[in-house]
Structure 1
Amino acid sequence: LGRVNEALSTLALAVCERVGTPTDYGAKTTKALIQDRLNITSREANRRTDMAKSLGGRVTLTGQAQPPLFPLVADAFNEGRLSADQARVIKDCLTKLPTFTSQDNRDYAESTLVDKAPSVRVYDLRAIFARILAHIDPDGQGPTDATDRTMYKVTLHARDNGDWEICGLLDPVTGGVLNGLLTQRTKIAKSVEGSLRAGGSGTESGVLEDGTLVDMTGQRLSAQEWIYERFATLIG
């Protein structure tokens, strides 16, 4: 009953993660919401929201349903065959699989850990995974240029004055696209800035691609400022 109760709680939290609006309840995030409402620690709230993201159903940006990240673990957890601790340890192990691991090997690792879990200690699951990992990656390391997909992220944080801080790590393709979108505009803007200056008049002018003259007096932005303005335009 305890396992089923925890599974139902995780499923409910997964729904809140997908369609809930924490701000309606005065919270910035789902984690903050349950930490306040359930009077639990930040660590426990983080554990529960992480479980919900990994073992709950997901949707794409277009609203299409997707299975959980670890469907076999999710099924066993929801049916009460796995405890929350067992499910968490298996999830943590599976996220450590090298990025080059084939889907067949990922399925094998997940099914093996789920099958073994009811008959071994939680501690033993890590030892079983270590043997699986040694079989998948006998050299103990993947390609030197491989990056764990879980490391890619973008985080936003609201400051008290209403400003937003953004930071993150992008994969090569995404980063290249974004850099191109930002710096292309920057190069165009800087070339416009210096393309024409009215001699002796005390004004600075630029020429747009269609030949239009633009008064740029006092508007000489730095490269970083141009990139920011382009980024703000893309978001808008």
Structure 2
Amino acid sequence: MIDELARAEVATRPCVAAATWAMPERQLVEALDAAHRLEQRLAAIKLALVRELDGRGVAVAEGATSTATWLRDRLRLTVPAARRLVDLAAALDDGSPVVREALAEGRIDAEQARVIAATMATVNTTAGPQAADQAVGILLEWADQFDPSLLRRLSSRILDHVAPDIAEAAAGKALDAETARAARDRHLTLSDLHDGRLRLTGSLDAETAALLRAAIEPLTAPSGPDDGRSPGQRRHDALGDVCRLALRTGELPEHGGEPAQIVVTTSYDALAGQLGAGTLDTGLALPAETVRRLACDAGVLPAVLGGTGQVLDVGRQRRLVSGPLRRALILRDGGCAFPGCDRPPRWCEGHHLRHWSHGGRTSLTNAVLLCRHHHRQVHHHGWQVRLAGDGHPEFVPPAWLDPHQRPRRNRHHRPAHRRDRPQATRPAGTPRRPLGRSPRRTPAQPRPP
């Protein structure tokens, strides 16, 4: 086997540097199919080797805790990937040889083989080996047409084809088993990355998954024609919006004797001069622009420090945009005031037109409601915000977006009776008609049409 694999490696080496740009399209497609078949054949060989090594206990003999951890170090795989490899090798070894042959011939790939092997094991337990053999034949036919995801979905109803008399009862048991497995395997892992980011991984049960989708999907639509975020970035931002809303409700339990919150520490000079970074309570640094944006709608707690950094005095917290002022902003703006945005008020933060650290007042004439995405747009991408003559905010785009820098407004939140309708004028000296009363007509006056 080693000699044959070495010859295969030598034979395929020239293909790596082949001039694919000079090949006709038909040959490109044929080469792609051949490479895919070869890849699956090699996958079948690797699975057979993994199964034999696992059965002999080679990993434990060499000091590893399991074959998966041994494969991680040997092949530089992640532990989940190595574990899936070991599990699939065992499933193919215990299952029908037809599946192994299909993988070796390149008719199915490793993920399809995983689906077929798992389905066959379930059918064998539920309806017996004869039904399992029938299921394998059907699934192999489906694998010629469907990818692993759709094949897995179709396989959940395989008993309707091979054992219809027990399909309904088996479906109920399978659902119970899936629910129990989802409850057992549910988890959420937060992994700190070295650059301050956080990797979010986990497995949600069906109910929690539905809750998450219901919470973030309404917030994942593009905020306007200029929204250049990818779908993944919009989902990321939507999750942040949901977390902000939860923190804003004040109904979360206390954490360490304080309300649930994030804490950013920065110097006054850095905040006022737009220079320097801030520090989260987790020790991670934030750039100055992010600190200034967060300070727009946050509690600011001034503290006086001595020369060696000791705290000499701590002032009282001031909430910049809240209470009656926030309610007034909601009445005026109706939601995010950025042009084209339809985010409602509960998803919005207060933004100072003239920043508080630059002497800007906390007042209705110096504040505007912005959702987080557009709050960041204003802070980082050169938009200017001002109040027009009628007291409503308007946005001046940066020159790279509109060389004429024509002001724009949000028309989404304003009621129809307020949308820039021309106001009727009354000549000076004309008496005002009392409300609710029609002018009296004399018989000589003609009836209006």
TM-score of the aligned structures, taking structure 2 as reference length = 0.28
Q: 1:87 Cα shift?
A: 0.5
C-alpha separation between the residues in 1 aligned to 2:92 and 2:129?
18
The match for 1:25 is: 62
User: 2-side partners of 1:49 and 1:110: how far apart?
Assistant: 21
**Cα–Cα, structure 1 residues 78 and 20, in superposed 2: closer, same or farther, change >3 Å?**
farther
Which residue of 125, 128, 143 corresponds with 1:117? 143
Secondary structure of the corresponding residue to residue 158 of structure 2: helix
Distance 2:44 2:126 in 1: 31
Matches within 5 A, 1:137-148: 137-141=166-170
Number of the residue aligned with 2:107: 81
Q: Residue type of the partner of 1:138? A: A
* 8 Å contact from structure 2 (residues 42, 104) kept in 1: no
Q: Which segments of structure 1 move beyond 6 Å, counting only runs of 4 or more?
A: none
Gaps of 5+ in 1: 57-67, 152-236
Percent identity of paired positions between Structure 1 and Structure 2:
28
Residue 152 of structure 2 aligns with an amino acid whose one-letter code is: R
SS in 2 for 1:140: helix
Bigger Rg, structure 1 or 2: 2
Distance 1:116 1:37 in 2: 35
Q: Helix, strand or coil for the counterpart of 2:157? A: helix
RMSD of aligned alpha carbons: 2.7
Structure 1 match to 2:91:
54
Deviations 1:43-84 (A, max 9, x none): 10110000111113xxxxxxxxxxx32322122112222101
Specify which structure has the higher proportion of helix: 1
Q: Answer yes or no: is the 8 Å Cα contact 1:32–1:45 preserved in 2.
A: yes
Give 1:36's aligned amino acid.
D
Q: Is the 8 A contact 2:124 2:131 kept in 1?
A: no
1:45 to 42, 67, 82: 82
Alignment of 1:116-135 (within 5 A): 116-135=142-161
Partners in 2 of 1:122 and 1:111 — Cα distance?
16
Q: Find the aligned partners of 1:119 and 1:139 in 2 and give their Cα distance.
A: 26
Judged with a 3 Å threshold, the aligned counterparts in structure 2 of structure 1 residues 102 and 26 are, in CA distance, closer, same or farther, namely: closer
Task: Give the CA deviation at 1:98.
Answer: 6.7
Higher relative contact order at CA 8 Å, sep ≥6: structure 1 or structure 2? 1
Task: Name the residue aligned to 1:173.
Answer: none
In structure 2, how many angstroms separate the alpha carbons of the residues matched to 1:98 and 1:87? 16
For these two proteins, the number of residue pairs brought into alignment is 136
**After the TM superposition, which residues 217-236 of structure 1 pair with which residues of structure 2 at under 5 Å, given as runs?**
none
Aligned-partner Cα distance in 2 for 1:95–1:143: 17
Q: Secondary structure at the match of 2:125?
A: coil
Structure 1 residue 124: Cα displacement: 2.6
When normalised by structure 1's length, the TM-score is: 0.51
Deviation of 1:101 after TM superposition, in Å, equals 0.5
Residue 109 of structure 1: how far off its partner (Å): 0.4
Matching residue's letter, 1:112: I
Checking the alignment, whether the CA contact within 8 Å between 2:68 and 2:82 is kept in structure 1 is: yes
Larger deviation, residues 37-46 vs 116-125: 116-125
Q: Per-residue deviation at 1:132? A: 2.0
In the alignment, what sits opposite 1:198? none
Cα distance change of structure 1 residues 143 and 4 upon mapping to structure 2, 3 Å threshold: closer
Matches within 5 A, 1:195-214: none
Q: Secondary structure at the match of 1:119?
A: coil
Aligned: 1:3 with 2:32? no
